[in-house]
Amino acid sequence: MANALKGTNFNLEGQKSFYKGKVRDVYNISDEYLIMVVSDRISAFDVVLPRGIPYKGQVLNQIASKFLDATADIVPNWKIDSPDPNVTVGHMADPFKVEMVIRGYVTGHAWREYRLGKRVLCGVPMPDGLREHDPFPEPIITPTTKAAEGHDEDISREEILAGGLVTAEDYIKLEDYTRALFQRGTEMAAAMGLILVDTKYEFGKKDGQIVLIDEIHTPDSSRYFYADGYQERQERGEQQKQLSKEFVRQWLISNGFQGKEGQVVPEMPDEFVEEVSERYIELFESITGEKFQKADTSSIEQRILKNINEFISK
């Protein structure tokens, strides 16, 4: 099995601080740039699982890089360059304290709430009579708080504005950008025979301007269905064939883990780790239409450090 990048701990030229997220290692260079190393860690139910997934970080980084480039005409983004398959370098921005989640279908969290009888999600009404994986009449925006630790929480537009998390002027722009980005992502997915089901975007401000930050349209932040057979599966009441982390969540649930207090994270066997890796590569090839080129993982940390240092020295 290929090596997985569980994490990095570099000491880079100009480094002011280091932040380790669930999946990403982020280096602040001179309070001006961020170097984001996308590791092979995988999280579910807001918990980082014990084993890394080979090539997952490369998949996420390269998909995000492609979509950042493909949406730069809609909203400026933080990306400057990608000097390594697992690395993006970008401008530092002051992040908003909310994540913009947009859902085209009643799936995942939306379905779990809907099934309990709830017909309002984040202040947005949901119509009666929907089945799991049915489309909403139009996509709905269901923001969450951005938790430094633990679970992100659903929050409504009204609560965001009342709490002063975002100004009314900025929030209107965030909603407009979110809808436009989702529309572009939907069109790009459709061209590849996929349905973009739901996703999340993170934004920040740099020099007074709203910019798109972090990753977009990856299998960690998004859910995709295969368009072929979607309608037939809905009519038969079958589960949709999807490319996302949902199958990892389902495996965890079947092994008695949903991130609740007192539950123990099950250890993924080699075969399942391989399967997850293959699913990530499948998504890369499905969404980009390109053959995935596996990077050399024999000395993955040394490779990344070398490429970062070469970029910094420029």
List, in order of start, the domains of the chain with CATH numbers: 15-94+248-313 (3.30.200.20), 95-243 (3.30.470.20)
pLDDT recorded at residue 150:
59
- pLDDT at residue 46 above 90? no
d(CA 154, CA 144): 4
Q: pLDDT grade, residue 80 (50/70/90)?
A: very high
Token duo for residue 176:
């407009």
d(CA 259, CA 45): 5
Nearest to 192 by CA among 286, 105, 265: 286
Pairing of strands 24-29, 33-38: antiparallel
Q: What SS3 class is residue 148? A: coil
- Decide if 178 contacts 69 (C-beta within 8 A): no
- pLDDT at residue 148 above 80? no
- Decide if 220 contacts 130 (C-beta within 8 A): no
- Measured in degrees and rounded to the nearest 5, phi and psi for residue 16 equal -100, -35
Chain mean pLDDT for the chain? 95
pLDDT tens string 272-311: 999 999 989 988 999 999 999 999 999 999 999 999 999 9
pLDDT tens string 99-133: 999 999 999 999 999 999 999 999 999 999 999 99
- pLDDT at residue 94 above 90? yes
pLDDT recorded at residue 245:
80
